[in-house]
Amino acid sequence: MPELSHAERYLPEVREWWETWRNSAQAEAFLPTDVQRLKVLVLLVQRIYEMEGADLKAYAELRQQESLLGGTVLDRQRLRMKVKKETESTSDDVLGDLLG
């Protein structure tokens, strides 16, 4: 996944959001269409951080779009997405890991 183009234009929180996705395990499987979706979402993330009040529609859209990219453990399980952890375990089954 590429570095954020024109990173200096974005707030530090937005650059951190991009780097989090860029360095995520699921990013290894991203296709160009997934990267394009993140390039659109970065504008939404910037807007959210610039707003003084809460825009629930913007938050809901961001949550939905991140979910489609496997943003949480439950999203990845629902998508049957397997990602490598940095620890010894290679499964993304956190509940299974907790239950033994």
Per-residue pLDDT of 19-77, as tens digits, reads 999 999 999 999 999 999 999 999 999 999 998 777 889 999 999 999 999 999 998 88
pLDDT of residue 98: 46
- The rounded distance, in Å, linking the Cα atoms of 34 and 38 is 6
Q: pTM for this one? A: 0.77
Environment class of 26 (CB within 10 Å of its CB; exposed 0-12, middle 13-18, buried 19+): buried
Polymer length of the chain: 100
pLDDT-based confidence at residue 90 (cuts at 50, 70, 90): very low
Residue 54, Ramachandran bin (φ over 0: left; ψ between -120 and 50: alpha; else beta): beta
Q: Any idea what DSSP says for residue 82?
A: -
Three-state SS for 88?
Answer: coil
